[in-house]
Amino acid sequence: MSLVLPVFAIDLQRKTCTGRVSSTLLNELFAAFLQVYLTDKTAVSPVIITNLLISLWAITRCLKRLRPTTLSTAAWCAITGLAIAAAAQSIELINPAQSTGWVDLGWYFAAVVLLCPGIAVLGARRPGASAWAFFVLLPLVLVLMWPAVASFQVARPTDPIEIEVPALVGFGLVLIMSGGNYFGTRYTLSMLYYAAAIVLLVAPMSAAVPDVFPERSTARFIASLAILLAIAETNRRSKAVADGGISRLDVLWFDFMDSFGMVWAKRVMDRINESARHEKWTMQLELHGFVPLVESPPVEEMLRTEERIEHSFRWLLKRFVDPAWIDARLQASSAGQTQPDEKPASSNTEEN
């Protein structure tokens, strides 16, 4: 999750968390659906629904592997948003001429909910992870939905809704918060695809947006393909071969950073380095991994430092993941270092 974005970017057991959907298959689907749209635009609704159902299937396959983490809420937000989008497009497929307002409202609702996975990750720390959904995500959805509800005319459901500029600006700020957490991780490109999809869902609903954006139906078609591209890119990055020279503590660090984003990574890094200064370790943590503070430190001191780092990591990460999640990475890394003739394990990890 893994996971949309955080959700697409998760791969907890060194198996892709996108339901083993190959990048080649998704690229072929992308090309085929684009050809269908260019040939017959009246067939766009079934294609959009198909894209959304494939995305739903991919994310649903991640839920079991997300259980050792606090990212399940992010996954369910993504699933809910895609399900709402599929329902809205189904309404247009059944009654395209008389339900424009309802379809627009449904798609805007889906876009708002699809913002929530990234925001859910920002609150994905025990013990308050569950409460975050009720005290942050639900009010966020209600506030962002109000402009669309106010624009919706129940008496005239054939009229499209229009989003005013202030509401669009607020939506954009939340999108930056949601996706910016993953900027700089291995899933940056996946995040950009996902963010572009959300922009395409909302921007055409505002008269203040430049004409460079396509009309609403076309934008939704492109957005559904962008979500598939996000899945394909995440799948490709999740299967990237890890550097054989990387330490097991670095593997744990990179997987955590890529799963939970830069905000939580910076918080954990600061706590680790605070302990390093207080206990006079021979290493400190940076975004690109652990680096020695002195040249050629004594072996005994290095071993003591690694033990203390692992202890601190386990204590800090227990608020985000179960011990089994940590053990899987440390053990897999150790196995890869002691058996160099074997094929290296795939690097993993959002998703949410």
Residues 65, 195, single domain; the answer is yes
Residues 177, 265, single domain; the answer is no
- The pTM score is 0.81
Beta bridge partners of 3: 8
Q: What Rg do the C-alpha atoms of the chain give, in angstroms?
A: 22
Say what the pLDDT of residue 340 is: 38
Which of 238, 269, 291 is the last residue before a domain boundary?
238
Residues 234, 252, single domain; the answer is no
Beta bridge partners of 94: none
pLDDT of 144 above 90? yes
Amino acid at 60: T
Read off the DSSP letter of residue 21. -
pLDDT confidence band for 27 (50 / 70 / 90)? low
* Sign of the Cα pseudo-torsion (203, 206, 212, 216, in order): positive
**Lookup: tokens for 239:** 């299967």
**Strand (E) positions, the chain?**
3-4, 7-8, 283-286, 289-292
Say what the pLDDT of residue 333 is: 59
Q: Kindly state the average pLDDT of the residues 208-217.
A: 82
Q: Kindly state the average pLDDT of the residues 172-185.
A: 93
Question: Is pLDDT larger for residue 84 or for residue 351?
Answer: 84
Q: How far, in Å, CA of 68 to CA of 329, rounded?
A: 13
Between strands 283-286 and 289-292, the pairing is antiparallel
Give the count of domains, the chain: 2
Q: Which residue has the tokens 């939970």?
A: 260
Q: What percent of the chain has pLDDT over 70?
A: 78
Domain that holds residue 52: 3-238
pLDDT confidence band for 213 (50 / 70 / 90)? confident
**Total residues belonging to the chain:** 352
**Lookup: tokens for 278:** 């207080």
Which of 238, 266, 281 is the last residue before a domain boundary?
238
Question: Is pLDDT larger for residue 81 or for residue 244?
Answer: 81
pLDDT confidence band for 65 (50 / 70 / 90)? confident
Task: Pick the range with the lowest mean pLDDT from 34-48, 159-173, 254-268.
Answer: 34-48
